[in-house]
Structure 1
Amino acid sequence: MYEEELKVYKLFISHLNQEDEEYDLFLSKLDAAYDFKWEDTAVKGSTTPDDLIKQVEPADVVIILSGLISKDKELLTMMIDAASKLEKPIVVVRPYGMETVPLNLEEMAADVVGWNTPCIVDAIMESYGGGE
């Protein structure tokens, strides 16, 4: 596929306010994806509820890295609430190396995926396309 024909997916990717290995690994997976262009609408450090609404609003899909919940449950809950309020499709990524996610997350997700890059990309594309 020609590069100029590729849709650029606007993603809000859940994050912490400090460096995190799981977040960095996820970004490297997206960067390595073939024929997939994306940009992150999230801004680290801007984490008030109003800031999060402004960041989630332009996103096509919200990605929740569920492994981050144990590190900052309040922040991740605010991100999930912003996505729900704006009725954005949510793709939940299982904690790295695990098979389960909290039931409440699974119920609100358009899709739940592991760390396989093609599965992640397919889930994003299907979640976005399902909303058209």
Structure 2
Amino acid sequence: MPKLYDYRLFISHAWKYGANYDRLINLLDNASYFSYFNYSAPSEKPLFPPGTPKTNSQIRELISAKIRPSQITIVISGMYVAYSDWMQYELDESVRMNKPILGIYPWGQERAPYAVTSVANEMVRWNTSSIISAIRRLA
């Protein structure tokens, strides 16, 4: 069997709500005939070691460096997005870099923050088939 294409994903998320990120990673890892490289910064692999002081400018540069090689930005769009300056920066930077944005509605909810729906190329529910199909269409 030929090697699967590796989609290059940047997953915007809030560490404080890591269960949703873990749920998405589990979904992607277990999807049939799907391979990807994750450019996001999960809590166990932060952009910089804990306790290392960074300026906002340096943090922005590190985030941009993660988004740049990705093909698509995926946003786990819980209501916390509306209150996260860094997630807003990730959305703005993805738009600036012309990266397609895939928004995922919060688990079991009908609504998502305007900050996501206003820039998302597509919004999907927590469903493996919907998420994988959207990644393939947009990336």
TM-score in same-fold range (> 0.5): yes
Distance 1:10 1:118, change over 3 A: same
Residue in 2 that maps onto 1:94? 105
Residue in 2 that maps onto 1:118? 129
CA distance in 2, matches of 1:21, 1:57: 26
Letter in 1 for 2:6: V
CA RMSD of aligned residues (A): 2.0
Shift of 1:29: 0.6
CA distance in 1, matches of 2:115, 2:25: 25
1:31 matched to 2:29: yes
Question: Which of 72, 88, 104 lines up with 1:77 in the alignment?
Answer: 88
CA distance in 1, matches of 2:118, 2:81: 19
Contact kept? 2:81, 2:113, Cα under 8 Å: no
**SS of equivalent to 2:74:** strand
Identity of matched residues, %: 26
Q: Which runs of 5+ in 2 are unaligned?
A: 48-57
Distance 1:68 1:102, change over 3 A: closer
Shift of 1:19: 6.6
Q: Provide TM-score, normalisation by structure 1.
A: 0.85
Larger Rg: 2
Question: Which of 14, 17, 24 lines up with 1:16 in the alignment?
Answer: 14
CA distance in 1, matches of 2:2, 2:12: 27
Contact kept? 1:16, 1:72, Cα under 8 Å: no
1:48 matched to 2:52: no
Query: Which deviates more from structure 2 when the two are superposed, residues 64-73 or residues 77-86?
Result: 64-73
Q: Which runs of 5+ in 1 are unaligned?
A: none
Runs of 4+ in 1 over 6 A off after TM superposition: none
